[in-house]
Each structure stands twice: as structure tokens, then as C-alpha cells.
Amino acid sequence: MYIKEVLLNKCVEQQQKVIDQLQKEIEDAQNQANDYGQPKDRYDAYRTKLMRQIELFAKQLDKANAVMNTLKIIMPKKQLDMVEFGSLVTTTKQKLFVSAGLGKIDLNGELWYAISPNVPIFNALKGKKVGESIVFKGNTITIKSIL
């Protein structure tokens, strides 16, 4: 179970950095807009650009917070015996953490892939148990362990 807690903490830490960076970008763009002052005319391109940036970063921040909320519902101490949301799955091809689509995570030299439960590989593995195999994109993948 320990590895799941460490991996989850690393994912949360990584996602918090994304959230912090987006909040900083929004704040910087807002400060620029405030420093710039009132629009110079009705078609003030610079101010419009700043407002669009703020809107874009705000949308990205909403998505980043949704990912963080997804990570927070994972119970790292729960023992799982089949592939489902929150499971660590070691296969003959790779190591997967079914959580959120965060990509490659290096954990003490071991590569794990944090994947969303919406990706095709999860759909193929969902409900499978240790020792079971699937054929995915022409490759046979066998589940070696599930935590």
C-alpha cells in the first residue's frame, strides 16, 4: 500500500504546482490589466487580449481543480483485487495508476503512468484480475499485480 500513497502524493503535488502556476498567471494578467488602466477605445486590442488570457487561464484552472478533486477521492489504503479507479496495475508492458491523466511519473527510478479512467487501455483492463490478459492494439498484455 505504501507505494500507492507515495504515488498519489506525488500526483497531488504535481497537480498543485499546475494550480499554483495557473493562479499566478491569472494574477499577473489581472495586474497587467489593472496597470494598463481603462480601455483606450472601444476596440482596445491589448486589453481585450489580457481579458482573453485571464478567461483562458480561468478555464484551465477549473480543469486543474477538477483533476485535483478526482485525486482527492482516491483511497490509497483500500485493497483492490481487480482493475478499477484508484488501482495500481503492473502489466507485462507498463505500470499504471488509474487516477487522472497526468502522464509519466518517475517514482524512485520506476516509471508509472497516471491514466484517466476514460482512456482506451483502462476500458480494456477494467474489471480484470491478476493473471488475466487482454489484447490491446495488437499486443498481449498480462496483469502481473494490482494494488
User: Is residue 80 one of the residues assigned to a domain?
Assistant: no
- Stated pTM of the model: 0.88
User: Is residue 81 one of the residues assigned to a domain?
Assistant: no
If one counts the domains in the chain, the total is 2
Rounded to 5 degrees, φ, ψ at 107 are -120, 100
pLDDT at 30: 93
Reply yes or no on whether the pLDDT at 89 is more than 80. Answer: yes
Reply yes or no on whether the pLDDT at 39 is more than 80. Answer: no
Shared domain check, 119 and 67: no
Shared domain check, 9 and 34: yes
Q: How many CB atoms lie within 10 A of CB 24?
A: 11
To the nearest whole number, what is the mean pLDDT of the chain? 94
What average pLDDT does the segment 47-67 reach? 95
pLDDT at 1: 52
Domain that holds residue 134: 88-146
Reply yes or no on whether the pLDDT at 42 is more than 80. Answer: no
Single residue among 39, 72, 105 that ends a domain in this structure: 72
Shared domain check, 111 and 56: no
Shared domain check, 44 and 9: yes
